[in-house]
Amino acid sequence: MVTALAFEGVEVWGEHLDGLNNEEYEVACPQCDEEIFIAFGQYGTFTTLDSMYMNDSGSKQLPLLPADPADLTGVGKRLHDRAIADHHPDVAEKLTYVFGRADCPACGERFGVEEAISARWSG
């Protein structure tokens, strides 16, 4: 799917879908520009400012708000549908967080995870 997205010219997702395997993305808050880690895997589903969150440092963690699969559109819907069709429900679930909402642990701003990821790598 990543190769197909790259050939179709789908910016960002054709090149940076690897965060799904790593179960995290590092992005800047669109409001305060603070660096945030968005985790969605074995350590939970949350945002934090702590790059060492996997060591259970007790850092502030705010829960991610997953997208409802029925509400996904565009590339999010395509990726989710493909993951389901290919019998990868774990990937499909991760995608609901990648295309969901998050709160910045620094300023409290709620933002779209996809938009923050795209802003990091577009251009």
pLDDT above 50: residue 8: no
Phi, psi (deg, nearest 5) at residue 41: -165, -140
| Model confidence pLDDT, tens digit, residues 55-72 | 877 789 999 999 999 999
Alpha-carbon separation of residue 116 from 1, 56, 58, 83 (angstroms): 21, 25, 25, 22
Q: Which residue has the higher pLDDT, 34 or 120?
A: 34
Q: Above pLDDT 90, what percent of the chain?
A: 52
pLDDT at 119: 83
Q: Considering the entire predicted model, what is its pTM? A: 0.84
